[in-house]
Amino acid sequence: MASPLFVLNGPNLNALGKREPGIYGGHTLADIEALCTAEGEKLGFAVDFRQSNHEGDLVDWIHEAGDTAVGIAINAGAYTHTSIALHDAIRAIKIPVVELHLSNVHAREEFRHKSMIAPAVKGVICGFGAHSYILALHALSSITK
């Protein structure tokens, strides 16, 4: 059985494909899930792909992954810039976490330049659209095997 890897998605990512495609691209979250599942199989991972608009769900899933998975790729959406709770949840687990973003957050509004979770993660990938997810899976593969 392949090792489980969680791919967690935060608020408003369920609206991908119709939400500001000039910034976030035309892929839907279902498209990205399919890409991650296929790439995960190639890398030897079973991808557990989830999305919630609720911060507490993400915290619970981080704790769950800490007990059952080998790593987490997380696009925390706007919670990236506001959530001490996500930061603390990531710090509480022993598995590696990679933060990712579809857009280059550093080329956007000033408030998006600060990540509350970046100090707690292994690394950050941003600006490559849906491919940011694939890059995050490869990063996790290189540090979990």
Confidence category of residue 84, pLDDT binned at 50, 70, 90: very high
pLDDT digits (tens, 9 = 90+) for 41-63: 999 999 999 999 999 999 999 99
**Residue-number span of the structural domain to which 133 is assigned:** 3-144
Q: Residue 133's CB: how many other CB atoms inside 10 A? A: 26
The mean pLDDT value for 103-118 works out to 82
Is the pLDDT score of 145 beyond 80? no
d(CA 70, CA 137): 11
**Tally of residues, the chain:** 145
More confident call, 127 vs 18: 127
d(CA 6, CA 20): 26
d(CA 125, CA 76): 12
Tell me which residue has tokens 């997380």. Answer: 74
Residue 11 has which token pair?
Answer: 């608020």
d(CA 66, CA 92): 8
- Is there a binding annotation on residue 43? no
- Is there a binding annotation on residue 112? yes
Residue 30 has which token pair?
Answer: 């279902």
pLDDT digits (tens, 9 = 90+) for 20-38: 656 666 789 999 999 999 9
The mean pLDDT value for 129-134 works out to 96
Active site residue 133: no
pTM for the model:
0.93
- Is there a binding annotation on residue 60? no
Q: What are phi and psi of 11, to 5 degrees?
A: -65, 145
Q: Find the CATH number of the domain harbouring 115.
A: 3.40.50.9100
The mean pLDDT value for 99-115 works out to 82
Strand order in the sheet with 3-9: 45-51, 3-9, 71-75, 97-101, 123-126
Give the residue among 83, 112, 106, 113 at the shortest CA–CA distance from 8. Answer: 83
Active site residue 54: no
Confidence category of residue 104, pLDDT binned at 50, 70, 90: confident
Is the pLDDT score of 134 beyond 70? yes
Give the residue among 138, 135, 131, 136 at the shortest CA–CA distance from 31. Answer: 131
- Is there a binding annotation on residue 48? no
Q: State the catalytic residue, choosing from 27, 101, 133, 138.
A: 101
The mean pLDDT value for 85-105 works out to 95
- Domains identified in the chain, total number: 1
| The pLDDT value given to residue 27 | 86
| The pLDDT value given to residue 25 | 60
